[in-house]
Structure 1
Amino acid sequence: MNVPNAVATAEPIELKPVPRRGALYRVQHEGKTSYLFGTIHVGKQAFFPLEPEVTSALAHASSLVLELDTRVHEPFQRALAKYGSYPAGESITRHLSPHALARLERALAKAGIPLSNVEGYRPWLVANILVGGEIEKHGYHRNNGVEGFLLSAAEKQKKRVRELETADYQLSLFASLDDAQQEQYLLENLDDLDNGKAVQKSAGLIDAWSTADAARIAVLARELTSGDTVSATFMDRTLLRQRNPQMTAHIEAIMRSDEVAFVGIGLLHLVGEDSIPELLRRRGYAVEQMY
């Protein structure tokens, strides 16, 4: 066999371009440049590696900035116990109406989770566990979240990793919901599990992220934060509007140093009139959406 000829006549291998994902911004002020990249906290292995504009921006940065460093588990577990659990001896069964408890028991049975496994948890945490489990069943996993990819790259490049928030602060936000609001939050999420909207909402946003579909991302963000439900109000007022100014101030402080920061932050923080890009623009920063 003439090996060289065989190789020469073989079909060329086509390398597909890596698609754009998420949303990428360049932020400039007083001669300094940083980047904002919208992340998702669950995903698929097929989403990686990220495309060259993102990986190049990260390579040129001197630090990676995330909401939390997800490699550090202890502070998160402490905060989860502090804000997500009842004091010893208390049970969720004493904090829910009979109707809500019956709904919860049915949902737990469907998910294959014994009530005894979660009865020490507060309703908001049980709701999030159930929704998270359903999303995982559809192929979206936390270990394929964008933060893990960014952290792995930063480790290889020996970059400093900074946090914009603390786990204690993030989880304390859920403690702002009183018992009645937590029950309603649980019931709304159980409704979304029953009618398929829980997966529809999450998968829709993840899929829009995976194709960098800015128009679709904006539409879904409005849907998630509009209306008078406890879930939408909490997302809009507390998880986004309350946190965005504080995150923006922290990003400003980092940019005042000599660092070029690559800021990976939850996608919804980059969308809307009170988003972090808009807040930076109002403070005199030049903010360009690269895609």
Structure 2
Amino acid sequence: MPRTWLTPVILPVLLALSACQTTPQETDLASTAEGAAERPPAVMPDDADPALWLIRDEDTTIYLFGTVHILKPGMTWFDEAVKDGFEASDELVIEMIKPDQAVMVKIVNDLAIDKSGISLRDKLAAEDRTHYEETLTRWTVPVAAFDALDPWFASVNLSMIPLMRSGYATDQGVEDALLSHAAARKMAVAGLETPEQQLGFFDNLPEDVQIRFLNFTVDTIDGAAEGMEQMVIEWANGNVDALGELMNAGLEDRVLYDTLLVNRNKSWADWVEQRMQQPGTIFLAVGAGHLAGESSLQALLAKKGLVAKRIEY
């Protein structure tokens, strides 16, 4: 198998995956449609102002920032309140700190390469396999390219193809920029999760869920770039509710929703609660999809008596 398919997208993939699963045609929930009808279409601003929140007590301050893990080059967002909050912070905390390539390849070999000896395509129902092979061919990907992978990792790789071809770059994400600024300041950096944990969320999904995930990615791949663009627009405009609608529409499978969003938010809410017991100023940056909707990190923090106040700028 070509090395390019063994090289993972070394970043949290929830937002990108939801982009592949969400297009205006597919978002058919009544509440979502009503909300979209009430809002004028958002457009990409010249200067992005993504949402930022503040959690504070007597001796602890946490800036809570929603990120997009991949962007197109040239987007301006690190200024005004975001820059001020970052520069006031002593430590940057992100979802995951990237390991070096050799370490990541080992993790992928351990978690994402199929151990059963059954080809990925042989795991698919006949109709799904035909559709899968036709889709790979249309996107000029060899039909055997993902045969050695678990279904979830094939879905991750496949989901990224239209985004990369539309100009998105895995080294242009918000976390990459924040890490660069942190390095320049010699700022402490920590991760909420390990690479093994992040990939494990997918790898531990039941195989039938992984296959449904892959089939859905195949079904919706043609709208992936458009869906991603719309999410970036909503993020850049700070439209949290609209972004939440897009994200939730892309995670209609309850197992996926709980595994990739709700359970992680619960864990992070516990982390924030514990961190508020220590003095200091933290810039906490997690995927924007975690900060929208009824199961958002802010909603879970509110249940703990911790109020995340949005900073208007």
TM range (shorter): 0.7 to 0.9
Structure with larger Rg: 1
Q: In 2, Cα distance between the equivalents of 1:168 and 1:161? A: 18
Q: Does 2:271 correspond to 1:250?
A: yes
Distance 1:77 1:94, change over 3 A: same
* 1:24 alignment partner in structure 2: 52
In structure 2, which of residues 225, 231, 236 is the aligned counterpart of residue 210 of structure 1? Answer: 236
Partner Cα distance (2:220, 2:271) in 1: 35
With 122-131 and 237-246 compared, the bigger mean Cα shift is at 122-131
Partner of 1:201: 227
Identify the residue that residue 5 of structure 1 maps to in structure 2. Answer: none
* Percent identity over paired residues: 25
CA offsets per residue over residues 20-76 of structure 1, 9 Å max, x none? 432200111243211000001110222235122111111111000000113644554
Counterpart residue type for residue 275 of structure 2: I
Structure 1 residue 176 and structure 2 residue 204: aligned? Answer: yes
Task: Assess, with a 3 A threshold, how the Cα gap between structure 1 residues 280 and 76 changes in structure 2: closer, same or farther.
Answer: farther
**Native 8 Å contact 2:47 2:77 kept in 1:** no
Do the aligned partners of 2:90 and 2:282 also contact (CA within 8 Å) in 1?
yes
TM-score by length of 1: 0.84
**2:85 aligned with 1:57, yes or no?**
yes
- How many matched pairs? 268
1:152 alignment partner in structure 2? 180
SS at match of 1:46: coil
Structural mapping, 1:89-238, within 5 Å: 89-193=117-221, 196-225=222-251, 227=252, 230=253, 233-238=254-259
Distance 1:88 1:215 in 2: 42
TM-score using structure 2 length = 0.79
Deviation at residue 218 of structure 1 after TM alignment: 3.1
AA in 1 matched with 2:151 = P
Query: Aligned partners of 1:48 and 1:70: how far apart in 2?
Result: 23
The answer as to whether partners of 1:29 and 1:286 remain within 8 angstroms in 2 is no
Partner-residue secondary structure (3-state), 1:286: coil
Q: Which amino acid is 1:96 matched to?
A: L
Task: Give the aligned residue type for 1:181.
Answer: V
Closer/same/farther in 2, CA of residues 197 and 163 from structure 1, 3 Å limit:
same
Gaps of 5+ in 2: 1-44
Q: Can you give the 5+ residue segments of structure 1 that lack an aligned partner in the other structure? A: 1-16
- Measured in 2, the distance between the counterparts of 1:211 and 1:71 equals 32
RMSD between aligned alpha carbons?
2.2
